[in-house]
Amino acid sequence: MRTAFLALVFLVLAQPAFSASELIMFNSTTCEWCEVWEEEVGVVYGKTTLGDKLPVHRVDIFDDRPANLKHLRGIRFTPTFVLLQDGVEAGRITGYPGESFFWGLLEEMA
């Protein structure tokens, strides 16, 4: 009985502390369209249903990538938005097509 309890506790504690789905934004400090995205979408993104479902993580395209993102290939332009589900790419938006198009494309991917 004690062993089963300890196994259950271990399984609960071993669950990842991050979302299974997330949106990675590859950006740059010199990217004008990244700035536009931040002004139009970024300021409200975290307050939306999609923002709750898909937390956004910003990664500078010129920095070394975190180990969990090294498998992503073909990212040459900013902004590039990559939807990850359980660490696997499930969709991508290259560029920023404007606020209304962005939300629609993201909804389709999610």
pLDDT tens digit string along 37-80?
Answer: 999 999 999 999 999 999 999 999 999 999 999 999 999 999 99
Residue 46 lies in a domain: yes
Q: Is residue 35 part of a domain?
A: yes
pLDDT tens, 10-29?
443 444 444 589 999 999 99
Q: Where are the alpha helices (DSSP H) in 1-110?
A: 2-13, 32-37, 43-45, 49-53, 99-109
Q: Is residue 106 part of a domain?
A: yes
Indicate the DSSP class of residue 88. Answer: E
Q: CB-side exposure of 40: number of CA atoms within 13 Å? A: 14
pTM here is 0.80
- Per DSSP, the three-state class of 35 is helix
- Residue 67 in any domain: the answer is yes
Answer yes or no: is 13 within a domain. no
